[in-house]
A and B are shown apart, each in its own frame.
Chain A
Amino acid sequence: MDVANNKLDEEVCRDARAFVDIFYDTMDRKRDKIGFLYSEQPNLVWNGNPFQGHDSIRSYLQSLPETQHNLTSVDAQKLPGGAGLSESAILVTVAGETILGADQHAFSQTFVLICQDAKYKINSDRFRYLD
C-alpha cells in the first residue's frame, strides 16, 4: 500500500512541479502563449473577479502588466477519479510573491488540472493577493 502510494505521490509531485514551472514561466516571460495552458472550458477567479471561457481568460491575463512570480510553497494532490473530472485530475495550490507592474503582493493560487490530449490543462484557476 505504502509503496503504491509513494509512487503515486511521486508522479503527482512531478507533474505538478512541471506544470508550475511552465505556467509561471509562460506568465512571466511568454504571456502570449498562456492560452495554451487552459482547457477548452476553463474558469478563473482573479481576486474575486470571475472569468469564464478560454478567450476571456486569455485576453484578461494578457492585459495585465508584466509579472514576476517567486514561489514559496507548492502542494499537490491527486483528485479521486470518477468525480466529474478526468481520471487523472490534480489539485495544485501555490503560495508566493508576485510583482505585477510596480506592485508587490503575496499571493495564493489554486489550479485544478485535468488531462486533455494527454496533457495537463487548467480547468479551474483561482488567484488572490494575500497582502
Chain B
Amino acid sequence: MYSRGNFNAPRRGVKQLAKDKSKTYTRIDSDIASNYYNEDDEEPTGRVLPQQNRYLSTQRRNFNAPANRSPPAFVDKKAEMVFKIKVPFGDIKYTTKWIIKQLNQKIDNIKIYLPTVTPRGDLEFIVRDEDTAEAIKAVSRRIIHRETGDRIDFFPRKVPAPWLRLKPEELKTIHEVIDSRFSASNRTLNLENFGADSAFKAKDMDMVLTKNNVILAVVDRIDEKYGNLEVLILSKNRIRYFDYLQSLPSVAKFLKCLDLSHNMITDFSELEKLSGLPLNALNLEGNPGCELISSQSSYISTVQKSFPRVSFLDGAEIQPLVSGLEEEPTLKMPFRAGFYVDDNLRSLIELFVINYFNFYDGENGAVTRKNLVNAYDADNSTFTLSIANLRDIVGVRYHDDECYSSYLRLSHNILREDKFARNRSQRVIKGAMEIAVALSKLPITNHYKESFIVDCFLVTKDLLGFTVHGLFEDGTKTSTVPKLQMFTRTFIVAARGPNSVAAISDSLFISAALPERIARYKALLDKGTSSGSATMADSFNNPAALSTTDAIDGLVLNEDQQKKEQMIAALCQFSGMVVAWSSKCLEDSNWDFEAARKIFIEYKDRIPREAFVVT
C-alpha cells in the first residue's frame, strides 16, 4: 500500500498517509454490507456498484490467468470474493489457536472466518476484505514460533466465498429483526427461533440460522451494533455446527451468557470453535448431545475446556475452572508516539530539532552545517556515528558508494572495533569547531520531519537527553524517487547560560532500509499516532528537572533565524498548533506570516488533531 513514491508529494506527509489509510479502512468496512448485495437487484445504490465491478473484473481476470486455470466447477458470478489464507502445516506444527491469537494481536479488528484444517495439517481460513489480506501478507514470516524457531508463512488467495450473497431486502429484514430483539437495558439479544419471526413470515423469507449467509449476517450485525452484548439467546434454531460462528469470540468480547438450548448439537466438542468467549453461563439443554453424555464430570470438563469461567451450566451452579478477573497479560505496553515528559520540554526539544535539521539539511549543507558550531558546547562536546545494516539486509549495498564511504570513514561501531583500533581519535570528534567541520563533510541530506519520533529519556538539573528516530535521504539525487534511509540520532544537551542549550553529545546511527522496512516503520508511526503520547508526566517526578523556561529559546541563533523563531512562536500562539506544524506552515508560505495565517484559517478544519497543542 505504501510506496516510496508517496514521499514525492511534498505535502503528503506520513501522517497524511496514515489518514488516507484509515479512510480506506472505513470505506471498506462500511461497504462490507454491500458484499451481500445481489447486483441484479432492482435498486442498487451508486456506492455499491464500483466495489462489485471490482470483484467481478478480478474474477474474470482470475479465470483467464493461467496460474488459476482450474477454478471450481461453478463460480457463481454473484458470489462475494474473499481471501483464503493458507498456512502450510499451520495446525499440526503450531496449532490453529496459537496462530489466530498471534494474528489477533498483530492486526486490529481482524475477523477470521471458517478456520479449517486440511488433512495434511494446513490451516486455512478466510478474511473478507483486501486490506486485511494485505495486512496478513505483511506479517508473513514476521511471526516467529518460539519452540521451533520457524517463521510463519501466510499465503492469501482470492476465491469466491463459500456462501451466497443475501439480497438487500433480505439483509435489511434480518437487521430489522435483530434490532427488534435487542434489549439495551440488559444488553440481551434474544434470537430464539429466529427464522420463525413474523417479519420473515410476512415477506415469505426463509432466514433460518442454519443458513451460512444468515448466521454470518447476524455475527456482522453484532459486530456493527452490539459489541457490548452480555447475553445471547440462540435457542430453538436447529443449530448443529459452529463453523460460521467462529468469529463471535472476536466480536462479542463481553458475552457472559450464551443460551444454545434446544438446538441440534450432537457433538459438544464443537464448542471449541467458540472458545475465547468470556462466558459465565451456558445452556445446552435439549440438544441431542445431552443424551450421549457419559458422566456429569466429563460433560463439565468438555465445556470448561473451552469456557473455563463457566459457573452456571444448564442453570445449575458448578465450580469454575478459572475465577477472578480476566488476566490477559496486558503489561506489554502499546507502541506510543514520542515521549517528551511535558509540554515545556516538548517545545524546547522540538525547537532544537527543527533548528538543527534546518541547518543540517539542504543542497548547501556543506556551508550551512558550519552554523551548527553554535549547537554544540565549544569544548565539552562529542560526535560519533555508526553505520551498519540491520541483520535482515546485511548483504544490501548502500544506495550510494560515495555516501557510504564517507560515513564508513567515521563509523565508530564498536562491534567492528578492529577497523579503527589504530586511529580511534579520528572517529571521536570533539569540540564544536571540529564537529561542525566533520558534519559539513558528510553527504548532503534531507530529513523527513514528519517521520520523526522523538523520545526524551534523560532529564536532570542540567541535562536533557533525547533521541530522534526517522527517515532521510542523502547524496545527490539521481532519480526522482527518493531513496530513504533510516537514522536514529541521540543528543544530550546542557543548559548554557540563560536562554540557551548546547549539545554535549551527539550519536548518530544510520542504516540502509528496504521499502518493506520503510513501510513497516510508517505503520508503526501510525500506531504511535493513534495511541498517542504517554501523559504520565508525574512518572518523571523530578523536582530538579531542567528549568525549561530559562532554556526555552534553544540555540543561540543568527538574526534571520531569530526572526523565523519569532514568527513560529507567533503562529503557534495564533493557531494553537505545535511548533513543528507552525514551522511547516510558515516554511510552505516562504516565511510570509500573513500568508501562513491565511493558509491556516483556510485549512484549519482539515488539519489533523495531533497538530494542535493538547490543552
Binding site for B on A (CB under 8 A): 1-2, 5-6, 9-10, 13, 16-17, 43-52, 60, 63-66, 70-80, 83-85, 91, 93, 95-97, 99, 101-104, 106, 108, 110, 112, 123-126, 128-131
Contact = CB atoms under 8 A, between A and B. Distances in A.
B418 to A, nearest CB: 11
A52 B462 contact: no
A73 B460 contact: no
Contact of A75 (B102, B414, B524): B414
Nearest to A64: B332
A45 B413 contact: no
B528 interface: yes
Contacts of A10: 421, 424
A117 to B, nearest CB: 20
Given A60-B331, A95-B390, A50 B505 contact: no
A1 B494 CA distance: 25
Contacts of B424: 5-6, 9-10, 13
B415 to A, nearest CB: 5
B388 A95 contact: yes
A1 B341 CA distance: 39
B422 to A, nearest CB: 8
A105 to B, nearest CB: 9
A121 B392 CA distance: 31
A108 B336 contact: no
B79 interface: no
A17 B511 contact: no
Interface stretch (B239-247, B359-367, B531-539, B605-613): B531-539
B181 to A, nearest CB: 40
B486 interface: yes
Given A72-B511, A77-B384, 18 more contacts: A43-B458, A45-B456, A47-B334, A48-B336, A48-B528, A48-B533, A50-B341, A71-B415, A73-B415, A76-B414, A79-B504, A80-B377, A95-B509, A112-B458, A125-B457, A126-B467, A130-B488, A130-B524
Contacts of B430: 5
B455 A45 contact: yes
B412 interface: yes
Interface string B463-481: 1010101000000000000
B335 A47 contact: yes
A70 B142 CA distance: 16
B390 A75 contact: no
A110 B457 contact: yes
Contact of B534 (A49, A73, A108): A49
A97 B390 contact: yes
Contacts of B507: 75, 77, 91, 93, 110
Contacts of A80: 377, 380-382, 504
B155 interface: no
A80 B460 CA distance: 14
Given A51-B539, A96-B391, A104-B144, A73 B338 contact: no
A6 B492 CA distance: 22
A97 B142 CA distance: 12
B492 A79 contact: yes
Contacts of B216: none
B211 to A, nearest CB: 37
Given A13-B417, A45-B457, A110-B467, A102 B331 contact: no
A104 B521 CA distance: 13
7 contacts: A10-B421, A43-B540, A47-B336, A71-B415, A79-B505, A102-B143, A123-B458
Contacts of B219: none
Contact of A103 (B142, B392, B453): B142
Contacts, number: 202
B520 interface: yes
B170 to A, nearest CB: 41
Contact of B509 (A6, A43, A108, A112): A108
Given A45-B457, A47-B334, A103 B144 contact: yes
Nearest to B94: A102
Interface in B360-412: 377, 380-382, 384-392, 412
B505 A73 contact: no
Contact of A97 (B339, B380, B392, B421): B392
A63 B331 contact: yes
Nearest to B420: A9
Contacts of B462: 83-84
Interface string B263-307: 000000000000000000000000000000000000000000000
A123 to B, nearest CB: 7
B490 interface: yes
B333 A47 contact: yes
B141 to A, nearest CB: 9
B541 interface: yes
Nearest to B546: A84
Nearest to A94: B509
B145 interface: yes
B521 A131 contact: yes
B521 A70 contact: no
Given A9-B428, A48-B534, A73 B413 contact: yes
A130 B471 CA distance: 10
A125 B458 CA distance: 8
Contacts of B335: 47-48, 129
A96 B394 CA distance: 11
B69 interface: no
Given A45-B456, A72-B415, A112 B465 contact: yes
B425 interface: yes
Contact of B460 (A16, A49, A84): A84
Nearest to A99: B144
Nearest to B382: A77
A91 B463 CA distance: 13
